[in-house]
Amino acid sequence: MKKIPKYMEVYLDVKEKIMNGYYLVGEKLPSGGELAEEYKTSKLTIKKGLDLLVSEGVLRSRSGFGTEVLRTPIDNSKVFGPNEGLFSVVGEEHVESEIHNFSIELPTEKIADMLKISSKDYVYNIIRSRFIDHQPYSIEQTFMPLSIIPGLEPKHLKKSVYSYITQELNLEIKDSHIWIKGDLATEFDMHILDIEKGEFMIEVDKVVSLSSGIPFEYSLSRHIYKDFVFEAVFVEN
């Protein structure tokens, strides 16, 4: 099992401590230096981990004041941000993936437009179903340009594609643009997710970009409505 990056370890541990009441709302966290000593890592790594909680509205960091707890995170292992994969949130041992399609093809006009590529640039077309603790969670269709994400293989799809991108290709995933809409379950949804045909579904369409600003993923993921939680935090600076 691959060890998660140190900054993710910091992120998850501090998040858990807030949820468990070790750090209370309104309380200041120890300094970056103190946390670096506690976690035996650099202050830069601590900042990277805490910045994830800042972006979620859980923490607030102010120059000359420090970092304080703004709120308690939702205690739900299936809630995750647009740039996070299931592996990094619920753990590799809890996630299973079934591959239904892995092909290389030319993109449609819409896919090319979403990925800002030419209609002559080949893309991966990936369809996977995801399970958490053996329970159906989602069906995902993902398109990625070969020119940006080379060397992708079925073995990566069984695990974490994002880990392959960040750890093996050494690319940094930066931001996402998401669209959320309702839909009715198809026969494919019914078969994979063990639901009734016509049952209400939530579809999340997403374009994810690298730190360079280049889009590398256009995906559509379909979720059972009762398992779907959308959380947005607006922080006034």
Domain limits of the chain? 6-69, 86-227
Q: In the prediction, which pLDDT does 219 show?
A: 96
Which CATH number is 6-69's, of 3.40.50.720, 1.10.3430.10, 1.10.10.10, 3.40.50.300? 1.10.10.10
What is the CATH number that goes with domain 86-227? Answer: 3.40.1410.10
Q: In the prediction, which pLDDT does 159 show?
A: 80
Report the distance separating Cα 70 and Cα 75, nearest Å: 15
Residues of the chain below pLDDT 70: 1-3, 74-93, 227, 229-237
Q: Residue 86's closest CA among 125, 133, 48? A: 133
* Cross-strand bridge partners of residue 115: none
Structure tokens at 178: 């998401």
> C-alpha dihedral over 76, 87, 231, 170, to 10 degrees?
150
3-state secondary structure of 193: helix
Q: Residue 220's closest CA among 172, 193, 180, 185? A: 180
Q: Residue 220's closest CA among 233, 201, 205, 234? A: 205
Structure tokens at 158: 């069984």
Q: Residue 140's closest CA among 217, 66, 214? A: 217
Per residue in 126-139, pLDDT tens? 999 988 878 888 89
**What are the residues whose beta carbons fall under 8 Å from the beta carbon of 29, sequence distance 6 or more?**
14, 23, 35, 50, 59, 66, 67, 68, 69
Q: In the prediction, which pLDDT does 57 show?
A: 80
| Pure H helices in the chain | 6-19, 32-39, 43-55, 86-90, 109-115, 154-157, 161-163, 187-193
Neighbours of 89 (CB within 10 A): 18
